[in-house]
């Protein structure tokens, strides 16, 4: 696991190409995965959501589309600063959307101030996950829900073999070619391989103190959606 500063440098270097690479490397499935995440999160008018590790704002946008008030936070300013223009381009300029540079392990928000927290493709990069979970529990209202969208472990052997080939052979080459940065897209499959699988992540959340922990596999477990309640 690289240190936080290295993660920030890595995302700062690819920020301008991050969106296009997401869409190309996932074959467009990223939109479907964000849509499923937002639906599962319970985002709705009148609900206040914190999107942690929001990056360039696509995960936040999926929440805003369901009518939630969204506060987006990320510790890489070069990523987060691209969000407001994207919101405006998509016609969401009128919605309340606020950004703030913050580490998931030390959130600058009051206790019990959010109905929901989401973190999409971010928790894998956090150095001390238990510290982030403690912060999520602190800023969630009682009964509020954490929703994690993250790469996971494919559940079908044939899919796993294909995915291994794709993520180890194709993805780093295409990523390096489009972004001009070889390290970020070599780090991505490595970090996915060392990240807990579906059951282990659920156990981590229960150990941290979340109740009613559940998960759903998307696209055969290439990604998974985990939820837990405060
Ligand atoms: C792969 S991007 C995901 C962005 C967005 N959520 C999405 O779905 O496209 C991961 C983001 O996590 C952020 N990140 C990594 N570690 C973090 C931490 N400890 N605190 C806050 N943000 C973090 C990075 O800066 C990066 O913008």
Query: Residue 35 and residue 218: Cα distance in Å, rounded?
Result: 11
Question: How many domains does the chain fold into?
Answer: 1
- Does 185 sit in the ligand 1 pocket, CB within 6 Å? no
* DSSP annotation string for 127-179: S-HHHHHHHHHHHEEEEEEEEEEEE---SSHHHHHHHHHIIIIIHHHHHHHHH
pLDDT in tens, 151-187: 999 998 888 888 888 888 888 888 788 878 777 778 8
Q: H or E element: which one contains 116?
A: strand 114-120
Please tell me the predicted confidence (pLDDT) of residue 170.
83
Residue of minimum CA distance from atom 13 in ligand 1: 53
Please tell me the predicted confidence (pLDDT) of residue 100.
78
What are the backbone dihedrals phi and psi of residue 44, each rounded to the nearest 5 degrees, phi first? -165, 165
Residue 95 is part of a domain; what is its CATH number?
A: 3.40.50.150
Domain containing residue 138: 4-229
pLDDT bracket for residue 93 (50, 70, 90): low
Q: Is the pLDDT of residue 2 over 90?
A: no
Please tell me the predicted confidence (pLDDT) of residue 29.
94
Please tell me the predicted confidence (pLDDT) of residue 163.
87
Q: Which residues does 164 contact at the CB level (< 8 Å), separation at least 6?
A: none
Please tell me the predicted confidence (pLDDT) of residue 22.
87
pLDDT bracket for residue 127 (50, 70, 90): very high
Ligand 1 centroid, distance to 15 Cα (angstroms): 11
- Does 223 sit in the ligand 1 pocket, CB within 6 Å? no
Please tell me the predicted confidence (pLDDT) of residue 79.
94
- Does 198 sit in the ligand 1 pocket, CB within 6 Å? no
pLDDT in tens, 31-43: 999 999 999 999 9
Q: Which two tokens stand for residue 38?
A: 């937002």
Asked whether 200 and 128 are in contact (CB, 8 A), the reply is: no
Q: Is the pLDDT of residue 94 over 60?
A: no
Q: Is the pLDDT of residue 71 over 60?
A: yes
Mean pLDDT of all residues belonging to the chain = 91
Please tell me the predicted confidence (pLDDT) of residue 58.
95
CA distances from 136 to 43, 97, 100, 206 (A): 16, 19, 16, 13
Q: Which atom in ligand 1 lies closest to the alpha carbon of residue 8?
A: 25
Query: Residue 37 and residue 172: Cα distance in Å, rounded?
Result: 26
Asked whether 155 and 163 are in contact (CB, 8 A), the reply is: no
- Does 83 sit in the ligand 1 pocket, CB within 6 Å? no
Residue of minimum CA distance from atom 4 in ligand 1: 55
What pTM was estimated for this model as a whole? 0.94
Mean pLDDT to the nearest integer, 15-31: 90
Q: Which two tokens stand for residue 141?
A: 């209202």
- Does 80 sit in the ligand 1 pocket, CB within 6 Å? no
Ligand 1 centroid, distance to 26 Cα (angstroms): 17
- Does 175 sit in the ligand 1 pocket, CB within 6 Å? no
């Amino acid at each position: 696991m690289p240190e936080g500063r290295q993660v920030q440098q890595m995302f700062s270097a690819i920020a301008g190409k991050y969106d296009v690479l997401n869409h190309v490397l996932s074959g467009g499935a990223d939109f479907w995965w964000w849509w499923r995440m937002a639906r599962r999160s319970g985002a709705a008018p009148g609900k206040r959501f914190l999107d942690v590790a929001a990056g360039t704002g696509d995960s936040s946008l999926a929440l805003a589309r369901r009518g939630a008030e969204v506060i987006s936070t990320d510790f890489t300013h070069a990523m987060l600063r691209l969000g407001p223009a994207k919101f405006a381009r998509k016609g969401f300029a009128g919605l309340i959307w606020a950004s703030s540079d913050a580490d998931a392990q030390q959130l600058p928000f009051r206790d019990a101030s959010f109905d929901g927290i989401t973190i999409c493709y971010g928790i894998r990069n956090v150095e001390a996950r238990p510290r982030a979970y403690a912060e999520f529990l602190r800023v969630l209202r009682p009964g509020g829900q954490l929703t994690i969208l993250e790469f996971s472990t494919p559940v079908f052997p044939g899919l796993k073999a294909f995915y291994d080939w794709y993520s180890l052979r194709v993805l780093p080459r295409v990523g390096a070619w489009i972004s001009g940065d070889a390290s970020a897209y070599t780090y991505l499959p490595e970090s996915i391989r060392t990240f807990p699988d579906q059951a282990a992540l659920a156990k981590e959340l229960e150990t941290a103190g979340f109740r009613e922990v559940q998960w759903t596999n998307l696209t055969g477990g290439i990604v998974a959606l985990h939820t837990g309640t405060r």
